[in-house]
Structures are given as structure tokens and as C-alpha cells.
């Protein structure tokens, strides 16, 4: 899960004529929804909403790539969707609010069987809260909520994740004594399918590739052209649009005692 700075993102997404038009359409859709009888809102947004928020997704993926914000899997030619971090069924007033949008893969957004857990994972319309489980009644009261599901648009949430050598997501050891953080990571692993076996194997391969590159680099003579090739290859893995780039960074940090590795981490 890589942090997405929404302030910086929206300053670019809505800066163009196309972006301003999309934002205006969302505003009109929200006003129309607010005038509806509550019983009709969910059905209306299910039928008409995708036409309003898909253009936002398209603008975001142009800037951030075809990568799920939750799992960091890259989908090319497959359907990324707009996930409502807070589901419309519970928060109708956020249906057309771009701040509530997260670009997601089907494994995170929809109910999908997870063979690692032997059970179904995926967000669906779930949005559990930590005690005292006070749910907001309007946008201005969102700050009172304590969500369980990790949010890629919250930098502190992204810091809670680390990775095992076999690619499984785990609680960052720095938060080992934080019971709430532990619960959030464990439940997010299920609700977002973060530890799907396919994702774990790809992250494990990143670790193996990183170790091989670091060891090869160290063994090469100073000034070797191959060293430059290795550095560039490592940098590509850390790029924001790269699949599982957060895991790639985590595994590279295990070698930060090497000055050249620390230089790459500082650059990225």
C-alpha cells in the first residue's frame, strides 16, 4: 500500500478543462442525490454513479498508472474500479465526493476467495470501526471515526505495513505494542485481500531479485557499467507506478547500511 497524496493529486486532476468538467458533474450529481428520498439513493447511484466517477478514475490512472492503491498490483487490460473507501450504502453523501475514491483491483474491492486464508476476502460494502464505533453522520464529522480498514490516502496508515521474507504483509514491528494497529492490519489483510497468495509470491520474488542485485553490485568492480544497470533496475522497482513498489522499498531498506543503497532510497 503506497501513500497517495490526495491534495497533490487533485491539484493536477482538476486543473484541466476536462477535470473541471468532471468535478462539476460530480457536484450536480450530489445535489440531485440530496434531493431524493433516502430509499431511492442507493439504487440511483448504482445505476448512474459509474458514469460520473469513471472519468475521475481515468484521470487518476493517467497520472498514477494502472495500479491498485490497496494491493499495489498492476492491472493492464483488466478492470480497475473506483472503490468508495466509505461505502455508499452507509455514506450516501460521499457517493460523488472524489476524496472518498480509491482506485482498486477486484481482489480488494469485491468479494473474492482467498486460498491463503481459506475464506472470502475483499471489501464489498464493509466498513468496520474501532471502539467506540461512532459513525459519522456528515462529512464534517468524519474525524470522529476510527476506521479499521487501512487507507492508502493516510500516510500514517501506510506506515503500519511491513513485509515478511515470503512476501506476506505484516504489522510493522515499530507498532508491535499497538493493539489497535495490529487489529487494523490483520483485518485489512482479509478485507483488502492484501495477502492473496499471488501477491505474496510476487513480493517474495521482489525480495529475491533485490538481494541478487545488491550482491552482484557489491561483487562488481568500482566503475563497472553493469553497476549502473543494476542501480537503474532497482530504481524502476521503487517508482510510484511500479507494481508492489512499497514492498520493493521495504526489502531494499534491509541493505541500507550500504551507502549506494541509501543514496537510492534518498532519491526515491
* pLDDT, tens digit, 9 for 90 and up, residues 204-236: 999 999 999 999 999 999 999 999 999 999 999
Is 145 part of any domain? yes
- Does residue 210 share a domain with residue 175? no
Q: 139 is in which domain, residue-wise?
A: 6-191
Under the banding of pLDDT at 50, 70 and 90, the label for residue 13 is: very high
150 and 71 within one domain: yes
Residue 53 domain flag: yes
Q: Tell me, yes or no, whether 155 and 170 share the same domain.
A: yes
Domain assignment present for 1: no
- pLDDT of 121 reads 76
Structural domain ending residue among the three candidates 162, 191, 220: 191
Pairing mode, strands 81-84 and 101-104: antiparallel
65 lies in the same domain as 155:
yes
Residues 93 and 62 in one domain: yes
Same domain, 242 and 163: no
157/224 same-domain check: no
267 is written with which cell numbers? 532519491
Q: How far apart are CA 225 and CA 222, in angstroms?
A: 9
Beta-bridge partner residues of 102: 83
**Shared-domain flag, residues 172 and 40:** yes
pLDDT score at 77: 66
Residue 122 has pLDDT above 90, yes or no: no
Q: Which stretches does DSSP call E strand in the chain?
A: 81-84, 101-104, 112-114, 119-121, 161-163, 169-171
Both 163 and 225 in one domain: the answer is: no
The pLDDT-based confidence of 4 (bands split at 50, 70, 90) is: very high
pLDDT of amino acid 268:
80
- Among 191, 207, 238, the domain-final residue is 191
Lowest mean pLDDT among 28-32, 42-46, 146-150: 42-46
pLDDT tens digits, one per residue of 40-95:
998 899 899 999 999 999 999 999 999 999 999 998 766 899 999 999 999 999 99
For residue 113, pLDDT beyond 80:
no
End residue of a domain, out of 175, 191, 207? 191
Residues 254 and 182 occupy one common structural domain: no
pLDDT at position 68: 96
Residues 182 and 201 occupy one common structural domain: no
The total domain count for the chain is: 2
Residue 22 and residue 97 in one domain: yes
Q: Are 188 and 149 in contact (CB under 8 A)?
A: yes
Predicted confidence at residue 124, as pLDDT, reads 85
Amino acid at each position: 500500500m503506497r501513500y497517495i497524496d490526495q491534495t497533490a493529486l487533485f491539484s493536477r486532476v482538476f486543473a484541466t478543462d476536462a477535470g473541471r468538467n468532471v468535478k462539476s458533474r460530480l457536484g450536480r450529481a450530489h445535489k440531485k442525490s440530496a434531493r431524493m428520498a433516502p430509499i431511492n439513493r442507493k439504487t440511483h447511484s448504482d445505476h448512474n454513479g459509474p458514469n460520473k466517477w469513471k472519468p475521475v478514475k481515468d484521470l487518476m490512472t493517467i497520472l498514477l498508472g494502472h495500479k491498485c492503491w490497496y494491493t499495489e498490483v498492476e492491472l493492464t487490460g483488466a478492470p480497475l474500479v473506483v472503490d468508495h473507501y466509505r461505502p455508499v450504502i452507509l455514506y450516501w453523501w460521499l457517493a460523488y465526493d472524489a476524496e472518498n475514491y480509491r482506485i482498486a483491483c477486484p481482489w480488494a474491492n469485491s468479494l473474492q476467495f482467498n486460498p491463503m486464508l481459506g475464506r472470502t476476502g475483499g471489501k464489498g460494502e464493509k466498513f468496520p470501526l474501532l471502539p467506540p464505533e461512532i459513525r459519522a453522520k456528515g462529512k464534517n464529522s468524519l474525524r470522529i471515526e476510527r476506521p479499521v480498514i487501512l487507507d492508502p490516502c493516510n500516510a500514517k496508515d501506510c506506515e503500519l505495513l511491513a513485509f515478511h521474507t515470503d512476501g506476506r504483509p505484516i504489522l510493522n514491528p515499530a507498532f508491535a505494542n499497538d493493539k489497535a494497529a495490529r487489529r487494523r492490519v490483520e483485518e485489512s489483510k482479509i478485507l483488502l485481500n492484501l495477502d492473496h497468495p499471488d501477491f505474496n509470491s510476487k513480493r517474495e520474488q521482489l525480495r529475491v531479485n533485490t538481494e541478487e542485485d545488491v550482491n552482484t553490485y557489491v561483487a562488481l568492480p568500482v566503475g563497472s557499467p553493469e553497476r549502473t544497470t543494476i542501480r537503474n533496475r532497482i530504481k524502476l522497482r521503487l517508482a510510484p507506478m511500479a507494481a508492489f513498489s512499497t514492498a520493493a522499498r521495504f526489502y531494499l531498506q534491509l541493505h541500507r547500511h550500504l551507502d549506494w543503497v541509501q543514496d537510492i532510497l534518498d532519491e526515491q
